[in-house]
């Protein structure tokens, strides 16, 4: 088998780098050595999701997919097949009669991407083409809700598929409805800001990354479009492993979240820095690495930039549900050890 | 080679001879023995170069087959009844994508009330899904149709459903001629798709199609089914040459030459109907049978020619489109539509949920059709006493809620039909 090609340094080296600009955390490729730059910074990138697609301005999913798939293309010497669930990514990349995909790509249904990918992987095995690898991808609706059964089956059989979930916390393609990944209190079209409990309910939550870890699959990671170095590294690492793998990427959706297009990266970063979206890696059922919070922020900083949470800030008094959201953040911070006890600041 | 073997196992052996490369298995009665048999053949090394995948649902079963087929592998799965409904979305998807998947349907009723026994409701639910649907009359034909199905599927790039009656065929142990690998290899060339998922030639498969081209895509699917009307008899004839027996085809007639009355039916019940016809012929009644093998595509023209000379046509079918009548009868009606003097059509729904279709009942039905024809749909062996009571009850006191338990309660109270 051809070894995966990567010019990225081992993860330790990347982690120690201070390649972000002070205050903004912006990725500065020019500040690091050439071999440590992102795949995306290279002219040799595959542009697997090429220009001309119909994503909204500031779309986190388009950005995440571009980075993830190009990194996977690099890792597999372009021997990659992608299976796509129905959703924004599928619709905005393939408006009839065009396609933005520069790799073999198959869309079947909303809820079966994991199973279809299993079939493609099985075909590659039987056709004796071990160099060809398979990715399945979908949004949170297609992954954590309607595609969940197929996903769990693929995990449990340890099929040789990397499943990437672009998590924008709702059914954005159908007009912003609630999914099981929608955070409590968030306004969606099916959780309107009405009545005594406006917005989404405080349920028990559903962490599909944790559920993936509970399957003891070889590799699970969460990632964010706020840290594209980390995202690429995780995709490349995932492609170096065989068996079922899962990466969930937090991808802000300006349309669905009611945020400014230019705030996509900022929101993705704030989601991590407030503790609401823990970034971690797990191998074979054990968490192996967490991305520490560089500068902890209160959850309000994250909520305030989004119209889906605007009702929490009306009426002059502090909505008690903000504290409940903060409690979720704090529980994440405690569970994953996101803040060093010595206190860590960028 | 002649074998005394269970129908399901014979089908498993035949499917294995077709060298499937990906098999997706999920249990549902009465299809389960087929995938069990295939699993054994893969595990013991009799079927090589084949991935046998135990999936977590029927929806996943067909979805895995879709991925495998799109990536260039010969893919197979099997299901029945509720399983077919659970994968319904993928059933349409497989045909829409033009993927030559072969699937066995162990025909079984659809609930509620839950019922594991045989009828054709499941196949009928997917009759418009764009698959070819072939119905086996015997287990020998079930074996043979699977081999023809792979050839048809790959020639047309369309999925094929081989419909076999649950229990009556799947669980019957009988003498079956299992072809040799050489025979099957000579008949069925390897799957060589035009377009697959391949990094060397990246293609986007399954993209959205809007109003600009959707009609054209659907027209071409329909056109392919009309091509199948020619291919099915051709491949059946080629099969006869290579394997020494005639099976498959669009339809076939039994003692139909001079018949005044022709029965139309599908599947294993045709055996009982043939016995009944033999007995009635002995009594001097000019009656014959037309067996439909290909329900999709529906052989409108061939059926019209076969039925044109009859005075009466009796359709016996194991399915009901509630609120409309039998689906097969409706389709037969469409084929008679343009005849200048069409035969009179009589529709009977029989054998629902596994109720036996007896020669006695068929005798009565066919005689009744000639002397006392009925309007609409006849329900063979309907327990009118129970139905009457339930109708009376609901007229007296309007009360919504489930009805099946009322029927059961009254059945327990009523005199068994046999004792009447």
Interchain proximity A153–B55, CB inside 8 Å: yes
Strand order through the sheet with B204-205: A286-290, A280-283, A219-224, A245-250, A162-167, A133-139, A80-84, A105-107, B204-205
Task: Give the helix ranges, DSSP H, for chain A.
Answer: 11-16, 60-75, 88-93, 113-126, 140, 148-157, 208-214, 228-239, 254-257, 264-273, 299-303, 320-336
Q: All domains of chain A, ordered by start, with CATH?
A: 35-336 (3.40.50.970)
Candidates B48, B65, B71, partner chain A, best to mutate (most A CBs within 10 A): B71
- Least Cα distance to A168 among A86, A97, A273, A62 occurs for A62
- Nearest-CB residue to B60 (from A80, A112, A123): A112
The contacts of residue A116 (CB under 8 Å, 6+ apart) are A83, A106, A108, A109, A136, B63, B64, B66, B67, B70
pLDDT tens for B230-270 read 999 999 999 999 999 999 999 999 999 999 999 999 999 99
- Nearest-CB residue to A104 (from B21, B197, B213): B197
Candidates A52, A88, A91, A112, partner chain B, best to mutate (most B CBs within 10 A): A112
Is B300 strand, coil or helix? helix
CB burial of residue B323 (10 Å; 0-12, 13-18, 19+): exposed
Q: What is the pLDDT of residue B419?
A: 44
For residue A150, list chain B residues with Cβ-Cβ distance below 8 A: 56-57, 59-60, 63
Angle between helices B32-43 and B7-17 (to 10 degrees): 50
For residue B192, list chain A residues with Cβ-Cβ distance below 8 A: none
Write down the pTM of the prediction: 0.94
Interchain proximity A115–B67, CB inside 8 Å: yes
Is B261 strand, coil or helix? strand
pLDDT tens for A284-304 read 999 999 999 989 999 999 999
A222-252 burial string, b = 16+ CB within 10 Å, else e? bbbbbbbbbbbbbbbbbbeebebbbbbbbbb
Distance of CA A236 to the CA centre of its chain: 14
ipTM: 0.95
Q: What is the pLDDT of residue A32?
A: 73
Interchain proximity A81–B197, CB inside 8 Å: yes
Q: Please, which pLDDT band fits residue A20 given cuts at 50, 70 and 90?
A: low
Searching chain A, which residue's CA lies closest to the CA of residue B50? Answer: A126
Instruction: Decide which of A245 and A23 is more confident.
Output: A245
Q: What is the pLDDT of residue B396?
A: 86
pLDDT tens for A153-208 read 999 999 999 999 999 999 999 999 999 999 999 999 999 999 999 999 999 999 99
Does the structure show a pLDDT above 60 at A3?
A: no
Q: All domains of chain B, ordered by start, with CATH?
A: 2-243 (3.40.50.970), 251-379 (3.40.50.920), 386-419 (no CATH)
Interchain proximity B63–A120, CB inside 8 Å: no
pLDDT tens for B46-77 read 999 999 999 999 999 999 999 999 999 999 99
Mean pLDDT, rounded, of chain A: 91
Separation CA A98–CA A54 (nearest Å): 11
For residue A81, list chain B residues with Cβ-Cβ distance below 8 A: 71, 197, 199
Separation CA A177–CA A139 (nearest Å): 13
For residue A122, list chain B residues with Cβ-Cβ distance below 8 A: 22, 51, 53, 64, 67-68, 73
Searching chain B, which residue's CA lies closest to the CA of residue A153? Answer: B56
Q: What is the pLDDT of residue B415?
A: 56
Beta bridge partners of B349: B317, B379
Does the structure show a pLDDT above 80 at A73?
A: yes
Nearest CA of chain A to the CA of B368: how many Å? 49
Nearest CA of chain B to the CA of A111: how many Å? 9
- Nearest-CB residue to A108 (from B22, B93, B209): B93
Candidates A47, A105, A106, A134, partner chain B, best to mutate (most B CBs within 10 A): A106
**Cis omega (within 30 of 0) on the bond before A160?**
no
Interchain proximity A109–B54, CB inside 8 Å: no
Q: Please, which pLDDT band fits residue A11 given cuts at 50, 70 and 90?
A: very low
Q: Please, which pLDDT band fits residue A26 given cuts at 50, 70 and 90?
A: low
Searching chain A, which residue's CA lies closest to the CA of residue B198? Answer: A104
Interchain proximity A120–B90, CB inside 8 Å: no
Nearest CA of chain A to the CA of B59: how many Å? 8
Q: What is the DSSP string of A156-179?
A: HHT-S-EEEEEE-SSBTTTTSB--
Does the structure show a pLDDT above 70 at A22?
A: no
Searching chain A, which residue's CA lies closest to the CA of residue B49? Answer: A126
Separation CA B14–CA A316 (nearest Å): 75
Q: Identify the segments of chain B with pLDDT beneath 70.
A: 399, 414-420
Interchain proximity B199–A80, CB inside 8 Å: yes
Interchain proximity A106–B72, CB inside 8 Å: no
Does the structure show a pLDDT above 60 at A138?
A: yes
Interchain proximity A79–B89, CB inside 8 Å: no
């Amino acid at each position: 088998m051809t070894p995966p090609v990567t010019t990225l340094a081992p993860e330790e080296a990347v982690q120690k780098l201070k390649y972000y600009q002070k205050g903004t955390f912006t990725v500065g490729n020019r500040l690091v050595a050439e071999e440590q730059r992102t795949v995306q910074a290279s002219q040799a990138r595959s542009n697997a999701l090429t220009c001309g697609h119909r994503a909204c301005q500031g779309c986190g999913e388009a950005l995440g997919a571009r980075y993830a798939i190009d990194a996977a293309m690099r890792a597999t010497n372009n021997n990659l097949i992608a299976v796509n669930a129905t959703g924004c990514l599928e619709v905005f990349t393939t408006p009839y009669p065009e396609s933005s995909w520069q790799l073999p790509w198959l869309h079947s249904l909303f809820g079966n991407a994991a199973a279809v990918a299993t079939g493609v992987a099985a075909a590659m095995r039987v056709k004796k083409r071990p160099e060809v690898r398979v990715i399945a991808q979908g949004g949170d609706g297609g992954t954590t809700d309607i595609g969940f059964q197929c996903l769990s089956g693929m995990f449990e059989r340890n099929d040789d598929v990397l499943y990437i979930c672009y998590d924008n916390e709702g059914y954005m393609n159908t007009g912003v409805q609630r999914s099981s990944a929608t955070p409590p209190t968030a306004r969606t079209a099916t959780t309107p800001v009405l009545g005594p409990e406006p917005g989404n309910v405080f349920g028990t939550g559903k962490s599909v990354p944790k559920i993936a870890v509970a399957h003891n699959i070889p590799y699970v990671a969460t990632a964010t479009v706020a840290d594209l170095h980390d995202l690429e590294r995780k995709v490349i690492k995932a492609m170096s492993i065989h068996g079922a793998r899962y990466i969930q990427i937090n991808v802000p959706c300006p349309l669905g979240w009611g945020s400014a297009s230019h705030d996509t990266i900022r929101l993705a970063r704030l989601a991590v820095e407030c503790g609401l979206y823990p970034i971690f890696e797990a191998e074979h059922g054990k968490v192996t690495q967490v991305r520490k919070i560089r500068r902890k922020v209160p959850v309000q900083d994250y909520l305030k930039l989004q119209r889906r949470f605007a009702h929490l800030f009306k009426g002059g008094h502090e909505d008690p549900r903000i504290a409940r959201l903060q409690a979720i953040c704090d529980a994440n911070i405690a569970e994953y050890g996101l803040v060093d006890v010595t206190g860590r600041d960028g | 080679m002649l074998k005394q073997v269970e129908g399901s196992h014979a089908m498993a052996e035949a499917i294995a001879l077709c060298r499937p490369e990906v098999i997706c298995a999920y249990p549902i009665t009465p299809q389960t023995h087929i995938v069990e048999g295939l699993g054994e053949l893969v595990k013991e090394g009799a079927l090589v170069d084949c991935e046998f995948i135990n999936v977590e649902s029927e929806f996943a079963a067909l979805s895995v087959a879709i991925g495998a087929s799109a990536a260039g592998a010969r893919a197979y799965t099997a299901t029945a009844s509720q399983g077919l409904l659970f994968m319904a979305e993928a059933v349409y998807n497989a045909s829409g994508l033009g993927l030559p998947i072969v699937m066995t349907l162990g025909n079984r009723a659809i609930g509620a009330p839950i019922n594991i026994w045989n009828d054709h409701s499941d196949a009928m639910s997917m009759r418009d899904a764009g698959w070819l649907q072939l119905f086996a009359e015997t287990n020998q034909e079930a074996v043979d149709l699977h081999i023809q199905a792979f050839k048809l599927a790959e020639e047309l790039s369309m999925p094929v459903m081989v419909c076999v009656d649950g229990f009556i065929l799947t669980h019957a142990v009988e003498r079956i001629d299992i072809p040799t690998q050489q025979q099957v290899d000579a008949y069925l060339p390897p799957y060589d798709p035009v377009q697959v998922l391949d990094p060397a030639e990246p293609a986007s498969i399954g993209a959205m199609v809007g109003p600009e081209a959707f009609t054209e895509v659907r027209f071409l699917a329909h056109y392919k089914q009309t091509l199948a009307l020619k291919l099915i008899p051709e491949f059946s004839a080629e099969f006869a040459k290579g394997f020494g027996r005639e099976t498959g085809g669009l339809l076939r007639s039994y003692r139909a030459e001079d018949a005044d009355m022709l029965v139309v039916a599908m599947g294993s019940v045709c055996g009982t109907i043939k016995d009944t016809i033999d007995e009635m012929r002995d009594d001097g009644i000019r009656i014959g049978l037309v067996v439909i093998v290909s329900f999709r595509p529906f052989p409108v023209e061939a059926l019209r020619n076969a039925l044109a000379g009859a005075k009466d046509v009796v359709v016996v079918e194991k399915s009901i489109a509630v609120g409309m009548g039998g689906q097969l009868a409706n389709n037969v009606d469409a084929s008679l539509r343009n005849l200048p003097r069409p035969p009179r059509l009589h529709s009977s729904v029989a054998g629902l949920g596994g109720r036996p279709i007896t020669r006695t009942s068929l005798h009565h039905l066919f005689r009744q059709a000639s002397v006392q024809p009925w309007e609409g749909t006849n329900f063979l062996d309907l327990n009118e006493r129970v139905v009457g009571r339930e109708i009376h009850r609901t007229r007296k006191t309007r009360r919504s809620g489930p009805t099946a338990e009322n029927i059961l309660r009254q059945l327990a109270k009523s005199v068994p039909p046999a004792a009447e």
